[in-house]
Structure 1
Amino acid sequence: MKKVIYPGTFDPITFGHIDLIKKALNIFDNLIVAVSDGNNKEYLFSAEEREYLVKKSLFNDLKFKKNQVKVVIFNTLTTDFCKKMKSNVILRGLRATSDFEYEFQLSGMNKKLNDKIETVFLMSDPQNQIISSKLVKEIADLKGNVKKFTTKSVLKHLKLKLNG
């Protein structure tokens, strides 16, 4: 049974992320959505809130099967997390060519840290390639409509977080 680790900040999860999750489940038996709690970034939502929103989005809003997807928080090197979870595959998404350089370098560093790790790159469908968590937060903060970009659960929590 092959499982893949999909690491990210998911601050918040978007339809772009969800598109990749759907595609990955067509290839792999199991997927672990690994919510990063790295301390080198400022987040709108805490790691616990992001984990909750990913679970709410996937299992409540979109009815994903809990036996195929696991959502966990991690705060280690991704390669160490892969070892802990007994997976040697990392999933990363590519939206545009600008993502490639960073992802290529990250993949190479992960390979240097653990030569048994392989990185699989997937692209979301064209209508989701423009979506980024950063832009969703900016639009929501300016009171714009982001319902085309994320789930009902995220919409509700974005509104609460940004508008009190």
Structure 2
Amino acid sequence: MKTALYSGSFDPVHLGHVDVVRRAARLFDRVVLAIGVHHAKAGLLSPEDRAAMLRAVADPITAETGTPIEIVTFDGLVVDAARAAGAVAIVRGLRNTTDFEYEAQMAGMNAVLAPAVDTIYLGAAPEVRHIASSLVRQIAALGGDIDAFVPPHVAEKLRALYRR
């Protein structure tokens, strides 16, 4: 069974993430979504909220593809999370050349730390290439319409958070 690990803050999960998860589920036998939780960085959403939002996204993809999708949190190196998950690959989404430069450097470092774990890049679909969690948070905080960028359950959660 070939397992892929897709890590991120997912703060919040957006349609670009959903695209990568769906495509990884078509390529691998099992996908592990790893939520990075760093004690020095406070996120907008709790790790539990992020996991619940990811579960709501993952369940329909599992039903569609038959690929099991697990959700975990980690607070160390992504290669350690990949090894713990039994992953043969770390999946990364690329939106642009800036992402590629950063991800290529990380892949090189990860290859030294965990030679048995490959990095697989999935180019973002044109319709989601522009989406970033930081921009979604900023638009939501300013009362803007985020429906085109996130799944409906995420938009509802963010609107509720910013109404407070």
Q: Which TM-score band (shorter chain)?
A: over 0.9
**Structure 1: 4+ residue segments shifted above 6 A:** none
1:19 aligned onto 2:19 = yes
* Structure 2 residue aligned with 1:101: 101
* Structure 2 residue aligned with 1:28: 28
- Listed one character per residue, the Cα deviations across residues 69-116 of structure 1 (whole Å, up to 9, x for unaligned) are 111111121111111111121000100111111101111111111111
1:159 aligned onto 2:159 = yes
State the TM-score, normalized to the length of structure 1.
0.93
The answer to whether the 8 Å contact 1:48/1:73 transfers is no
Of the candidates 34, 58, 62, which is equivalent to residue 65 of structure 1? 62
Q: Please give the secondary structure, in 2, of the residue aligned with 1:34.
A: strand
* Structure 2 residue aligned with 1:128: 128
C-alpha separation in 1, matches of 2:118 and 2:14? 25
Q: Please give the secondary structure, in 2, of the residue aligned with 1:126.
A: coil
C-alpha separation in 1, matches of 2:103 and 2:44? 23
The answer to whether the 8 Å contact 1:34/1:72 transfers is yes
C-alpha separation in 1, matches of 2:83 and 2:21? 21
* Structure 2 residue aligned with 1:45: 45
Residue 8 of structure 1 aligns with an amino acid whose one-letter code is: G
How many angstroms does 1:40 deviate by?
A: 4.0
For structure 1, the 5+ residue unaligned runs are none
Residue 4 of structure 1 aligns with an amino acid whose one-letter code is: A
State percent identity of aligned pairs. Answer: 33
C-alpha separation in 2, matches of 1:152 and 1:43? 20
Q: Please give the secondary structure, in 1, of the residue aligned with 2:148.
A: coil
C-alpha separation in 1, matches of 2:22 and 2:96? 19
The alignment of Structure 1 onto Structure 2 pairs a total of residues equal to 161
C-alpha separation in 1, matches of 2:115 and 2:17? 26
